[in-house]
Structure 1
């Protein structure tokens, strides 16, 4: 038999699972109330996978953050703000009702899709003035290219850096504070502060977050009266700054 006529050998079938296997985009339009502020946005109601799509949900820390901000809107007036790990955008969209401009960021492309969808939702449902200055960008903590692009676009820096329930993985804490330090220095020492809505889930993480902030030369202050329990987890607001 001619060698060319020999039947091809069947190769073992290899199954590769990519991000699309885990994606659930069955978002529901959900209403949230924080004091006198009512927000509607698209989000998932529960986690469907353990893949890196945590930003599709509204987490307890975001509830704590928004309750705090809704009671202290004066601190947002006229500010330029960047939010880290924005997820579906519940905190950033609330802030835009009071601040001058806000940049919402996330590192996950799928999460950025729902984030932009919620920005568009509010751009059409609210006045143009309310939603002007509201934008989203990709930002992976510790990624110099991402941070450089943002620094060029927002050369004047930011008055506030926000983060709500963004401390999940131990490996992410060092790059998180690397990024926060650069953002704080972009505006200038004592001109910008990092407001972190922190939810306690493990003692190791509790210690790691504070230690990493101190390692970066930052001062951490607990905002009195902000400890609360949401979804069986205790959370608190920290103000973090470079002295």
Structure 2
């Protein structure tokens, strides 16, 4: 905790450690015939973007879709944006060749790595799928280029995330960079989107268009998650 004096007022500046909660619980998630056991929180602070410590409705939507359509993942190499605790990336590893899970928050990356270690050592020790973790801040071109060079065989991007309005533009900036670097037809982006406000619904569609992307709803994926409406989109270059 830092204190700064501003005239007669004392301003208290709290650092990230004040908000961190690492009291993770091992939680069971079932998607079709697939059962995952992951460490996660039941609630987390929105300060310092620690929401990745939770499993959000978008993850449930995405995992339900993937468990019913595993052919989407067969023989693919997956890059996941906004992996959080890893519930989707780890599910993907049951079906595909290689999974790269990414997040930008150091505290979230810790629990992500712990869950991968737990999964590979105790739950699925004979899995052929490779699981790796990289730090990625959306819109960071240096990190994007580094990942492209290190993982040249990536053919599919997938994401689940809890949208904040400020994250939508850097998200699509990241997606556009990946798709253009990989080349037309070599990569696509699957987005699990849970609606929280009509204004954000429009912003998602508008940002995709602004970045030169085609965004199409996958038929049959619109459903209610909790009390929110969700849908799966497929995004490609125009």
What CA deviation, in whole Å up to 9, does each residue of 1:100-136 have, x standing for no partner? Answer: 1010000100000000000000110144441641011
Deviation at 1:50, TM superposition (A): 3.9
Query: Residues 123 and 131 of structure 1 are in contact (CA less than 8 Å); yes or no, is this contact kept in structure 2?
Result: no
CA-based RMSD: 1.8
Report what 1:174 is aligned to.
169
Q: Paired residues, what number? A: 231
Q: 2:40 aligns with which of 38, 43, 56?
A: 43
Which is further off, 122-131 or 95-104? 122-131
Report what 2:116 is aligned to.
119
Report what 1:200 is aligned to.
195
Which is further off, 13-22 or 55-64? 13-22
2 CA distance for matches of 1:70 and 1:190?
Answer: 24
2 CA distance for matches of 1:119 and 1:20?
Answer: 24
Q: 1:148 aligns with which of 145, 154, 158?
A: 145
2 CA distance for matches of 1:234 and 1:126?
Answer: 32
1:88 aligns with 2:85: yes
Correspondence 1:1-243 to 2 at 5 A:
15-48=12-45, 50-130=47-127, 132-156=129-153, 158-168=154-164, 170-243=165-238
Deviation at 1:16, TM superposition (A): 2.9
Query: Residues 155 and 186 of structure 1 are in contact (CA less than 8 Å); yes or no, is this contact kept in structure 2?
Result: no
2 CA distance for matches of 1:52 and 1:135?
Answer: 22
- 2:43 counterpart SS class: coil
Query: Residues 220 and 240 of structure 1 are in contact (CA less than 8 Å); yes or no, is this contact kept in structure 2?
Result: yes
Q: 1:49 to 1:241 in 2, by over 3 A?
A: closer
Deviation at 1:155, TM superposition (A): 2.6
- 1:103 counterpart SS class: strand
Unaligned runs of 5+ residues in structure 2 are 1-8
- 2:231 counterpart SS class: strand
2 CA distance for matches of 1:118 and 1:57?
Answer: 13
Q: 1:127 to 1:52 in 2, by over 3 A?
A: closer
| Structure with greater strand percent | 2
Query: Residues 194 and 240 of structure 1 are in contact (CA less than 8 Å); yes or no, is this contact kept in structure 2?
Result: yes
Query: Residues 122 and 131 of structure 1 are in contact (CA less than 8 Å); yes or no, is this contact kept in structure 2?
Result: no
Over alpha carbons, which structure has the higher Rg?
Answer: 1
2 CA distance for matches of 1:68 and 1:177?
Answer: 22
Query: Residues 219 and 241 of structure 1 are in contact (CA less than 8 Å); yes or no, is this contact kept in structure 2?
Result: yes
